[in-house]
Amino acid sequence: MTDAIARFLSDDHHHCDQLLAACEAALGGRRSATESANALIEAMERHFRREEELLFPELEEANPMATGPTGVMRIEHQQMRQLFADLSDAVAAGDPEAGLGVLETLHILIQQHNAKEEGILYPLADAALPGDRMTERLRAV
């Protein structure tokens, strides 16, 4: 057993964290945040697709005990998608205060969500699935 899946997806989390910080910096500096908000949302949606379309279904199949936790993760993704829409609205409206408020809430949700994935789900995935093969497929999404 390796930790290839946990490492790949945790790196993806860090990448998204950096994009969130860049968006925060743009809004805080009263610069246009359109590009940085779009980059953040795009990277987060790609990460969600990697989990929802590939990792979670394969993990549920290999270990039915994972179905509870993956269900919770899917619900939290939906909550974050609502915040992506709020962020886009704030940026389109040229309202940096509203955008920063959304990012603060999003940041807290992401931290709690990622801690559960990195602490519980990804180790389950590495225990149940072929790590190198799965990592290759995740990268291709």
- Interaction site with Fe ion (CB under 5 A): 51, 73, 117
CB of 68 to Fe ion, least distance (A): 15
Which DSSP string do the residues of 96-117 spell out, in sequence order?
Answer: HHHHHHHHHHHHHHHHHHHHHI
Nearer to Fe ion among residue 65 and residue 72 (C-beta): 72
Nearer to Fe ion among residue 29 and residue 71 (C-beta): 71
Whether 45 contacts 133, CB under 8 Å: no
Nearer to Fe ion among residue 24 and residue 51 (C-beta): 51
Q: Is 32 left (phi over 0), alpha (psi -120 to 50) or beta?
A: beta
Nearer to Fe ion among residue 28 and residue 71 (C-beta): 71
CB of 8 to Fe ion, least distance (A): 10
CB of 66 to Fe ion, least distance (A): 13
CB of 133 to Fe ion, least distance (A): 19
Question: What is the Cα–Cα distance from 106 to 140, expressed in whole angstroms?
Answer: 26
CB of 73 to Fe ion, least distance (A): 5
Q: Is 6 helix (H, G, I), strand (E, B) or coil?
A: helix
Two tokens at 6?
């946990």
Two tokens at 126?
């590495």
Q: Which amino acid is at 96?
A: P
Nearer to Fe ion among residue 26 and residue 41 (C-beta): 41
